[in-house]
Structure 1
């Protein structure tokens, strides 16, 4: 697999970074005004697009299930055997798509729903506890992974089946246009698409860093007895940056694949230890009960809009989460495309929706069950700490309630750091791929370009923390950009369906499967 560094898109590189720096500078100079504008835009877009977002994400689950069961599910994405084992492949997808903020929400999210439950449930009740677990699993389950998968498939089909050059959203959209001339207007639209893509990555990772770095810092500080200051955060970010920069530089096979597999084994081991040493029966019963409620009420939870009371739960949580997932979809889709060569469409759908969701159910069920048990038994007032904005302190106290708490805290911090490193690693790869013109199937972006984006992904959030820029406003801006992304995604899905019909509408399922088997045995061209 060759590297390429000769087709660097310097215009995109410069305009994207200028845009990001201008936004950060503007928010630093005018924080209150910037926050006001961002919140106004988010509120307006949420009101207008909130209900359609619920319908579209729910529709994505149905569409992907139907596609996976159809003859088109047999289509193979590229020639040759898969480049990675199924375990490594799934591990990379999960690590790229989740990030270390996942660890924070695994411990605390149920408490937010317990304090202000939806669906007419009263706070402080047994039903509030149970619904808190169910919604926690719902927001990190099938719908979230469907949002990732619905974007990954058009990009993968464009790159591996159609063999179109360019691994970026604008390249996919350009290929969908077919033989239409590339006008100045379309060139401008393509630039806007790529700038939105790069800004949403910075925004999404600012959310992740803004949540996870202070969390890990506070937890480690509690262990060694120091204050979680900016300097502690700085050292932590520098360590993480060096780690994921080295991983990104050496490439996916030697870096990301190994780190993701190691992190997955470590996370599984950590959760099993918590399950066995912690309140085992409560965790098991709470997880199974939450899954039952979530599966039974999946349609209702997916389409819940609260039209009469307008209590704000759908807007503040479900709609926000779906838009949050959408901000991650561009870079996750490109990364999934790169690691999914040799897989079938059905295999991608199955492993993203089922394996990805199962990993989240396992992780959230065990850690959420531990946290909830501590609250139920009066060991830690998790709900009260979360309500007062002290979620990190709640995690520290819950971890300290376990035997051998120091060991668990170290393992917890290590899992968090590895989750963050793998997310940043995959993001740096996709940004390098987007800023490389005409990247082909058997090429990778330049290692130095990947290293450059690693530095930028660490430097921008770090600069914002140093100047005390409003991270919440950056987060809101990133979520706002997910609205135009929805239209881009819609166009990509339209093109994907059109391509499949053009290529395979007249081909039987048996013939598609036969072609897929031949492709699996073929030696891909270098």
Structure 2
């Protein structure tokens, strides 16, 4: 019979933070990265760059096929009667649909999507992606530029973050009573010996390290982006003290949000950000290049659909190796690294929802919303680039996406006010990443869905401190840490791989247990 996971008295000492192996390996990684960077910053950067390049070239195709398989298996599952099964032994959802979708959008899109939304489409407009043969910088290049951005932030990316893995975790935790930890994804394959042994701690630690590497990056880059924006708009100092002040404020916001829990701070922050994003979108659509944006979205989404498999299966053999390394493979590996803890968070907030609702929300609705957002910001940037109002060619060739975001924002209706609104939006998006990921890491330590608020704060502060130290060394170390998530995607991909067949099995098991289908 379904039952809730066992709750025991809170552990003390080091176990209060979770599994000692997870804690030692995770904190050890943070300390080692920082200390090695202080000892020889070039050695760390060069070593990670070498591993990054090798992983992208050698395993890039594997990552791409894993995302493709996850999406199509998830969609196939959503069409079966088993998808009516409810998650978490609840007949009704814990929160309203709007609140639930708001948290999903703000957590998974987060600062990365907002950070790249203005600049990436313009980059693909001035540097034609290998899947297309249009002349860069011309009207014919618009649809391909948007389509390539949709590929990176679309159906495949979202599906791997919270569909099949979330189904496996929901069944194992809420029905079988297993802990809400990454190791639980392998429980259906390796059994109970994994749950209690040191290997389980290593599995969890790999996922926590990948998440830390992927989250500290947006936190650190936000400080540089906001500092640059305030300097350009108001002439405020742009140096490290300003970046540190921004980090302190950001950390205070997302730590407080994480401590208050899913139903208070995390939910309120996400709802506010969705309303702010809708307001910005309305202004752009009503007072910006409206007809251009509508037509570009239609043609861009059409190109996304028609060239879907071409873009999704492009390899280093058919495209420039550097392009695959820094674009498709980088993003896909980044999403794989995030996947286990994102799946934990999605399973936590989706109690009372059906498997079908969760898959459709995560793998269909959210990517469509993301493509619209990329069209509004990035499509506007393309319009202003095409008409000569701005020129981001040099900045984007140097991967200066903070410059691109601010430049596009200032060109939009409202000018400085719009730029401030987008800086605020980006800040809160990163805060929603920080609070949800602090919460998710704390859940890994606790093994259930209501971890100690102080443990949530501990991980939130740890990530902010790491970002502060790395920024002190230079933004290059933040970039090196982000590259490291591509390397961590190797073990993490093996952890989520069994979800391809265990996800449907878990959904059918829940459906039988709930009497939806016959045994």
Q: TM-score, normalised by structure 2?
A: 0.91
Separation in 2 of the partners of 1:326 and 1:296? 25
Q: Which digits, 9 at most, give the CA deviation of each residue in 1:57-78, with x for residues without a partner?
A: 1111111111000122111112
Q: Which residue of 1 aligns with 2:112?
A: 101
**Gaps spanning 5+ residues in structure 2: where?**
none
CA contact (8 A) 1:38 1:473 kept: yes
1:458 aligns with 2:447: no
Q: Which residue of 1 aligns with 2:64?
A: 54
**More deviation in 69-78 or 23-32?**
23-32
**Gaps spanning 5+ residues in structure 1: where?**
516-526
Q: Which digits, 9 at most, give the CA deviation of each residue in 1:31-63, with x for residues without a partner?
A: 222222222222222222111222221111111
Q: Which residue of 2 aligns with 1:523?
A: none
Q: Which residue of 2 aligns with 1:520?
A: none
Query: 1:448 aligned to 442, 448, 454, which one?
Result: 454
Distance 1:276 1:192, change over 3 A: same
* Superposition deviation, residue 399 in structure 1: 2.4
CA contact (8 A) 2:164 2:503 kept: no
Query: 1:138 aligned to 143, 151, 174, which one?
Result: 151
Q: Which residue of 1 aligns with 2:165?
A: 151
CA contact (8 A) 1:164 1:175 kept: no
Q: Which residue of 1 aligns with 2:488?
A: 481
1:191 aligns with 2:201: yes
Separation in 1 of the partners of 2:405 and 2:211? 27
Q: Which residue of 2 aligns with 1:361?
A: 371
Distance 1:276 1:19, change over 3 A: same
Separation in 2 of the partners of 1:76 and 1:144? 24
Q: Which residue of 1 aligns with 2:182?
A: 169
Q: Which residue of 2 aligns with 1:522?
A: none
Matched residues, number: 504
* Superposition deviation, residue 445 in structure 1: 0.5
Separation in 1 of the partners of 2:460 and 2:40? 28
* Superposition deviation, residue 330 in structure 1: 2.1
Q: Which digits, 9 at most, give the CA deviation of each residue in 1:111-170, with x for residues without a partner?
A: 32233321252433333332111111221111111111232222122222x232311111
Distance 1:451 1:306, change over 3 A: closer
* Superposition deviation, residue 511 in structure 1: 4.6
Distance 1:14 1:241, change over 3 A: same
Query: 1:303 aligned to 313, 336, 358, which one?
Result: 313
1:490 aligns with 2:497: yes
* Superposition deviation, residue 493 in structure 1: 4.0
Distance 1:14 1:397, change over 3 A: same
Separation in 1 of the partners of 2:438 and 2:119? 29
Q: Which residue of 1 aligns with 2:214?
A: 204
Distance 1:101 1:213, change over 3 A: farther
CA contact (8 A) 2:333 2:489 kept: yes
* Superposition deviation, residue 20 in structure 1: 1.6
Q: Which residue of 2 aligns with 1:512?
A: 516
Q: Which digits, 9 at most, give the CA deviation of each residue in 1:357-406, with x for residues without a partner?
A: 12201211101111111101111002333124443233333222234322
1:247 aligns with 2:251: no
The secondary structure found in structure 1 opposite 2:370 is: helix
Q: How does 1:113-512 map to 2 (within 5 A)?
A: 113-117=124-128, 118-119=130-131, 121=133, 122-148=135-161, 149-160=163-174, 162-174=175-187, 176-178=189-191, 181=193, 187-305=197-315, 307-308=317-318, 310=320, 312-436=322-446, 438-439=447-448, 444-468=450-474, 470-500=477-507, 511-512=515-516
Query: 1:84 aligned to 76, 95, 98, which one?
Result: 95
**More deviation in 460-469 or 258-267?**
460-469
Separation in 2 of the partners of 1:201 and 1:223? 33
CA contact (8 A) 1:4 1:445 kept: no
Q: Which digits, 9 at most, give the CA deviation of each residue in 1:234-272, with x for residues without a partner?
A: 111111111111111111101111111111111111111
**More deviation in 361-370 or 169-178?**
169-178
Separation in 2 of the partners of 1:226 and 1:159? 50
Separation in 1 of the partners of 2:380 and 2:144? 16
* Superposition deviation, residue 175 in structure 1: 5.5
